[in-house]
A and B are shown apart, each in its own frame.
Chain A
Amino acid sequence: MDTSRRTSKDDQSRIDWGIIFCVLMLALIGLASIYVAATHDSSSTSVLRQVVSQLVWYVIGIIAVVIIMQFDSEQLWKVAPITYWLGIALLASVLVLYSRTYYLNTGAKSWFSLFGLTFQPSEVMKPAYILMMGRVIVQHNDTYPIRTVRSDFLLIGKMLLWTIPVAVLLKLQNDFGTMLVFFAILGGLIIVSGVTWKIILPSVVTIFGLAGTVLALVIPESGRHLLEKFGFQAYQFARVDTWLNPSADTSNQGYQLWQSMKAIGSGGIFGTGFDQSHVYVPVRESDMIFSVIGENFGFIGSCILILLYFLLIYQMIKVTFDTRNVFYAYISTGVIMMILFHVFENVGMSIGLLPLTGIPLPFVSAGGSALIGNMIGIGLIMSMQYHNKSYMFGEDKEFS
């Protein structure tokens, strides 16, 4: 190792300021939006308390980033199974020790409540799962250097095997939205793991075909009877109805979505201005935070937000390419998929593009555990840059 390169200047370049900039901007937008939501909505907690507690979570998140940055590739490799099983243990224990109040309000048994602080273990399970999956793929590819369709199926089987405990536990928690995040991560990792297109393409076509069929069946009454036989429930139909026709019934299921669409739509191109709220959107400090941004800052503000996410993901991909470490590549793909899915689903549901699920907007929505989960993801990416040994070997070096 060339120690002469370890100067303060180099320390600077080992830290990815682009990512920090994006996260910082998102954090500022988040704090401002939480302030707006808190000012206009009646709540038992004061405005200041809501904003400050979010600020505190950011500080905890930054500490988490700094700690994780200290882990290099090898150490991450070692801790991956530990974090995975720790996460599983947390997910299992929450089934017993879930917060009763939260359960009554949301119907999901996915929250701990301790000393007035709530915590959702599935959020920190995400980075743990990503680490573990990265390890599984690398191990497999080392064992089977020559890819065959059979070995690819074996890989997919292994990946599914590690996903099943998570999926089962989340199903037991009634947390369908978070389960989808894990599936998104799994899907992204299958693509980058090198599984042959002969498997991926037909699978993608099948999945989209099935989804299309189900959707086509939801619309006619007879199709619904058929779907009910497969275990679909009335509330799920209601969500689809709302999604297909948000202004039809704005009193019950559709209320939140219609309010959100009104808020965002009324923002127009330039927005109504900071701290202006004319439309009440339920839980807009958290899952519906995008409605605040859309209303206050309009199309331009929304574009800037999405651009920030795009920039963030671009930075992550850049780091992935810079490090040329396959383990790192899988981890970053997992983190990218996690953030991508959160952003797409959250913004998409707020504007009526996707059905409603309880998924927060990364770095912006109020809520500690989701923030910590995402910050751990950022920490993983930043640790790659921080421990990057490969850049000194020149550009033509392949992934090793």
Chain B
Amino acid sequence: MKIFKKRTKKTNKGKAASLPFRINIIFIVVGILFVALLTQLAYLQVMYGSKFKAEVNRSDTSVVNGNVQRGMIFDSTGHVLVGNSAHQAIIYTKGVNVLSSDMYKTANRLAQYVTVPTGSLTKRQLADYYLADASNLAKVEKTISGIQDYSADAKYDKAVTKVEGYPNSTFSAATKNAATIFAKMSGAYQLSTVNIKDDKVSTREVAMVGEHLADMPGVNVGTSWSRNYPNGQSIQGITGTVSNEKSGLPSDRVNELLAQGYSRNDSVGQSYLERQYEPVLRGTKSQTQIVLNSDNQIKKEIKKYGGQKGDNLQLTINAKFQKQLQSLVHSAESSAGGNSTGTYAVVMNPNNGAIIGMAGVDRNPKTSKITDNILGTINSSIVMGSVVKGAMVSGALMDHVITPTNSTLTDQPITTGGVKKSSWFNHNGHANISVDASDALQVSSNSYMMQLAMKEGHFNYVEGGALTMSPNVFNTMRGYFNQFGLGVKTGVDIPGESTGLQGASGYNHIGSALDLSFGNYDAYTTMQVAQYMSTIANGGNRIEPHVVEAIRGTSKNGKLGTVKATVMPKVLNHIDMTKAQRDVVKTGLYRVVHGTNTYKTGGMLSSIKPEISAKTGTAQTFYNGNETVTLSLASYAPSSHPQVVVALAMPNLGVNAESNNMALAKQIYSAYWKTVQSTSTVK
């Protein structure tokens, strides 16, 4: 400051004298401001320098998950029911804070090498792409009058509306291609991966992209998988389906699945087995640790875990037999005609509950259109008819209203309150015969079952009298039926099972208790019938039916690997009957096919080798006010040591139908012994 003092020492009053002084003031201001700068700099760089250094050196790690192949589903013989087709895919992993302009560049580069279908491109996406180029945006905004009055967002919206209004022909196919790629990239979440193209990626595309990977940050060549069905898609009726990348996670479960670590575009089991066994099938995603520096740029990527393909399911179902069964059911239904509404069949092992085949078709009587509905076996409730009589007789034995040695009753029409109900062969009482329990099954005596019901209801039958029985009898009968699986869930390992339907059970409906006794009142599923017959066949154990045999790893050649878990047969309850009591029922079922009575109902089945025991069913039903007949059948074979149970139901056939069920059963047994098990393995 010496210089200024020297210059100003001779100052007098007046403007000239004050000028140096005032310039000095300016200089002092300069000094003060610069000292302020230096103070703040010292504060930042000297005092907090190390803190900022630490902040800069800080790095974040994030984990990026990669998809792995979903577990496959095999049949009992190791054939693939549900497999995966691997596709080369062009994938894009979005970084952190990626600018739209950078993505625009990447999309344009990638568009030179890859052609994607542009059909799903929306006008908005096309506009967003077009305007991602600053010069396009400027150009468009110039054409909008009064644009400067809008905020930045509103300007952009105006521009989008403008571009959306352009005729489609404004944009070349190449532009649309790039726009589609850009839209897919934009749709990705930070540090998540999307497939840019995963279908029909040519080797040329893979090569071109691979060569230019360095110019396209985030782009890579990967693999994607989609489900395939080498044995036909109808198996989806059991296995269910998976969501694909396009449909994304099922909307009703998005939050739940996101919480479990799924990405929005992951494939996830949507129904049935694919859903039930999702945790097994999904596998473990690969994990790549991404280290970000404080600027959120990717510093390095470390593959932490290669991922584990999902485990495979092995089903109890025999794919070849399943196919045959489905086609038998289908052809039985096509020849049924009339008001027929479907045909369902279940084939299972009575000893462990393994379902070997389950088939079903629905038919729309109006259009005669037949559609596959395998799950009709577990969710269609059908009034089955006399097929339940084995359970009725068993119940009566357990209730001690009859005993193995004392069970003879007279088959006669039952008339109560002016309503007459009778067996099929004895409508008018002209064919009254004495039958014991086994014979009652053989001839399918309705009269016998009604008398058992009245005994269980502690009601003394007087012909023509009022049926003043307590409605408790419904509970008694159903209690026994339930023990065999009729009218309760079977526990099959496929979601969506029905419990069947119960008719009204009050005093006003007491007459229906008689109908219930011979299967003409409550409705059951085909699976319930199969479980009921299995329970009789295996000596009194109600076993959960299941379609999954085991969870297995993958072998080196991609086939079934080591067994990781086996589904053990689960006994739900044991039927408390003596051997003598059981034999009454088993004998009856054997006599249905092989008995000597004129009125035996299953004689047509006697030609089946090995010998089967069975119970047929005929229910009088109605469809849309038209009288129909529902035929059913429950059977096991061989009669002496049962290894397979066949249950089937054919609702709403013509009133004259009487042997469709047996014809189908014969075909099923024939297929079974040819395809699944050789007759040489049984005596």
Residue numbers of A with Cβ under 8 A of B are: 100-101, 104-105, 107, 141, 147, 188, 191-192, 194, 259, 261-269, 278-280, 294, 298-299, 302-303, 306, 309-310, 313-314, 317-318, 320-321, 326, 329, 333, 336-337, 340, 343-344, 347-348, 351-353, 395-396, 398-400
Chain B positions 1-44 with a Cβ under 8 Å from a chain A Cβ: 3-4, 6-7, 10, 15-20, 22-23, 25-27, 29-31, 33-34, 36-38, 40-42, 44
Cβ distance B44 to chain A, nearest Cβ, rounded Å: 4
A147-B15, A279-B294 known; A104 vs B49 contact (CB < 8 Å): no
Determine the chain A residues whose CB is within 8 A of the CB of B293 once the complex forms.
Answer: 278
Determine the chain A residues whose CB is within 8 A of the CB of B30 once the complex forms.
Answer: 310, 313, 336, 340
Chain B positions 544-569 with a Cβ under 8 Å from a chain A Cβ: none
Looking at the complex, which one of B22, B29, B36 makes contact with A194 (CB distance below 8 Å)?
Answer: B22
Q: How far is the CA of A263 from the CA of B295 in the complex (A)?
A: 11
- Contact call B23/A329, Cβ cutoff below 8 A: yes
- Contact call A353/B15, Cβ cutoff below 8 A: no
- Contact call A398/B16, Cβ cutoff below 8 A: yes
Looking at the complex, which one of B38, B40, B49 makes contact with A352 (CB distance below 8 Å)?
Answer: B40
- Contact call B22/A294, Cβ cutoff below 8 A: no
**A321: nearest chain-B partner, CB-CB:** B7
Cβ distance A236 to chain B, nearest Cβ, rounded Å: 14
- Contact call B23/A317, Cβ cutoff below 8 A: yes
Q: Flag B619-635 by CB within 8 Å of A: 1 or 0 each.
A: 00000000000000000
Q: How far is the CA of A263 from the CA of B17 in the complex (A)?
A: 47
Looking at the complex, which one of B10, B41, B295 makes contact with A303 (CB distance below 8 Å)?
Answer: B41
**B49: nearest chain-A partner, CB-CB:** A268
With a 10 A CB-CB cut-off, give which of A107, A340, A398 has the most chain B CB atoms.
A398
**B53: nearest chain-A partner, CB-CB:** A266
**A191: nearest chain-B partner, CB-CB:** B22
Cβ distance B530 to chain A, nearest Cβ, rounded Å: 62
B137 within 8 A of A: yes
- Contact call B55/A262, Cβ cutoff below 8 A: yes
- Contact call A101/B134, Cβ cutoff below 8 A: yes
**B57: nearest chain-A partner, CB-CB:** A278
Cβ distance A242 to chain B, nearest Cβ, rounded Å: 16
B50 within 8 A of A: yes
Q: List 13 A-B contacts (CB under 8 A).
A: A101-B134, A194-B22, A265-B45, A266-B49, A268-B52, A269-B49, A299-B41, A306-B34, A306-B41, A329-B19, A336-B26, A348-B37, A352-B40
Determine the chain B residues whose CB is within 8 A of the CB of A265 once the complex forms.
Answer: 44-45, 48-49, 51-53, 55
Q: Flag B166-209 by CB within 8 Å of A: 1 or 0 each.
A: 00000000000000000000000000000000000000000000
Cβ distance A211 to chain B, nearest Cβ, rounded Å: 15
- Contact call A104/B51, Cβ cutoff below 8 A: no
Q: How far is the CA of A399 from the CA of B31 in the complex (A)?
A: 24
Q: Flag B296-327 by CB within 8 Å of A: 1 or 0 each.
A: 01000000000000000000000000000000
**B25: nearest chain-A partner, CB-CB:** A191
B572 within 8 A of A: no
Q: How far is the CA of A294 from the CA of B40 in the complex (A)?
A: 12
B431 within 8 A of A: no
B604 within 8 A of A: no
Cβ distance A56 to chain B, nearest Cβ, rounded Å: 26
- Contact call A321/B4, Cβ cutoff below 8 A: yes
- Contact call A321/B23, Cβ cutoff below 8 A: yes
Question: Known pairs A261-B52, A314-B27, A326-B19. 15 more at Cβ < 8 A?
Answer: A107-B152, A188-B26, A191-B25, A194-B19, A265-B55, A266-B52, A266-B55, A268-B52, A280-B295, A299-B41, A303-B38, A306-B38, A317-B26, A321-B7, A344-B33
Looking at the complex, which one of A105, A259, A267, A351 makes contact with B37 (CB distance below 8 Å)?
Answer: A351
Cβ distance B539 to chain A, nearest Cβ, rounded Å: 72
Q: How far is the CA of A370 from the CA of B134 in the complex (A)?
A: 25
7 nearest CB pairs, A to B: A265-B52, A268-B49, A299-B45, A266-B52, A266-B56, A399-B16, A194-B15
Cβ distance A322 to chain B, nearest Cβ, rounded Å: 9
B420 within 8 A of A: no
Cβ distance A88 to chain B, nearest Cβ, rounded Å: 22
B509 within 8 A of A: no
Residue numbers of B with Cβ under 8 A of A are: 3-4, 6-7, 10, 15-20, 22-23, 25-27, 29-31, 33-34, 36-38, 40-42, 44-46, 48-53, 55-57, 134-135, 137-138, 141-142, 152, 293-295, 297
A147-B15, A317-B27, A396-B10 known; A262 vs B56 contact (CB < 8 Å): yes
- Contact call A279/B295, Cβ cutoff below 8 A: yes
With a 10 A CB-CB cut-off, give which of B6, B33, B41 has the most chain A CB atoms.
B41
- Contact call B45/A191, Cβ cutoff below 8 A: no
- Contact call B295/A100, Cβ cutoff below 8 A: no
- Contact call A104/B19, Cβ cutoff below 8 A: no
Q: How far is the CA of A268 from the CA of B50 in the complex (A)?
A: 7
Looking at the complex, which one of A105, A279, A340, A353 makes contact with B40 (CB distance below 8 Å)?
Answer: A353
- Contact call B56/A101, Cβ cutoff below 8 A: no
Determine the chain A residues whose CB is within 8 A of the CB of B15 once the complex forms.
Answer: 141, 147, 194
Q: How far is the CA of A352 from the CA of B52 in the complex (A)?
A: 14
Determine the chain B residues whose CB is within 8 A of the CB of A294 once the complex forms.
Answer: 41, 44-45
Q: How far is the CA of A318 from the CA of B6 in the complex (A)?
A: 12
A105-B134, A266-B56, A318-B3 known; A347 vs B42 contact (CB < 8 Å): no
Q: How far is the CA of A33 from the CA of B4 in the complex (A)?
A: 35
Determine the chain A residues whose CB is within 8 A of the CB of B33 once the complex forms.
Answer: 340, 344
- Contact call A313/B294, Cβ cutoff below 8 A: no
- Contact call B45/A267, Cβ cutoff below 8 A: yes
Q: How far is the CA of A278 from the CA of B19 in the complex (A)?
A: 48
Determine the chain B residues whose CB is within 8 A of the CB of A400 once the complex forms.
Answer: 16
Q: How far is the CA of A191 from the CA of B52 in the complex (A)?
A: 41
**A294: nearest chain-B partner, CB-CB:** B45
Determine the chain B residues whose CB is within 8 A of the CB of A343 once the complex forms.
Answer: 34, 37
Q: How far is the CA of A353 from the CA of B7 in the complex (A)?
A: 35
Q: How far is the CA of A2 from the CA of B50 in the complex (A)?
A: 62
- Contact call B41/A351, Cβ cutoff below 8 A: yes
Looking at the complex, which one of B7, B25, B31, B138 makes contact with A104 (CB distance below 8 Å)?
Answer: B138
Cβ distance A185 to chain B, nearest Cβ, rounded Å: 11
- Contact call A351/B44, Cβ cutoff below 8 A: yes
A268-B50, A321-B4 known; A353 vs B37 contact (CB < 8 Å): yes
- Contact call B34/A310, Cβ cutoff below 8 A: yes
Q: How far is the CA of A105 from the CA of B141 in the complex (A)?
A: 13
Determine the chain B residues whose CB is within 8 A of the CB of A269 once the complex forms.
Answer: 45-46, 49
- Contact call A302/B45, Cβ cutoff below 8 A: yes
Cβ distance B8 to chain A, nearest Cβ, rounded Å: 9
- Contact call B41/A302, Cβ cutoff below 8 A: yes
A101-B135, A104-B138, A333-B26 known; A348 vs B40 contact (CB < 8 Å): yes
- Contact call A192/B22, Cβ cutoff below 8 A: yes
Cβ distance B13 to chain A, nearest Cβ, rounded Å: 10
- Contact call B55/A399, Cβ cutoff below 8 A: no
A279-B56, A306-B38 known; A264 vs B44 contact (CB < 8 Å): yes
A262-B294, A302-B41, A348-B40 known; A321 vs B34 contact (CB < 8 Å): no
- Contact call B45/A320, Cβ cutoff below 8 A: no
Determine the chain A residues whose CB is within 8 A of the CB of B56 once the complex forms.
Answer: 262-263, 266, 278-279
Q: How far is the CA of A98 from the CA of B36 in the complex (A)?
A: 37
Determine the chain B residues whose CB is within 8 A of the CB of A302 once the complex forms.
Answer: 38, 41, 45
- Contact call B25/A261, Cβ cutoff below 8 A: no
Cβ distance B15 to chain A, nearest Cβ, rounded Å: 4
Cβ distance B150 to chain A, nearest Cβ, rounded Å: 12
Cβ distance B231 to chain A, nearest Cβ, rounded Å: 53
Determine the chain A residues whose CB is within 8 A of the CB of B36 once the complex forms.
Answer: 344, 348, 353
Q: How far is the CA of A278 from the CA of B53 in the complex (A)?
A: 10
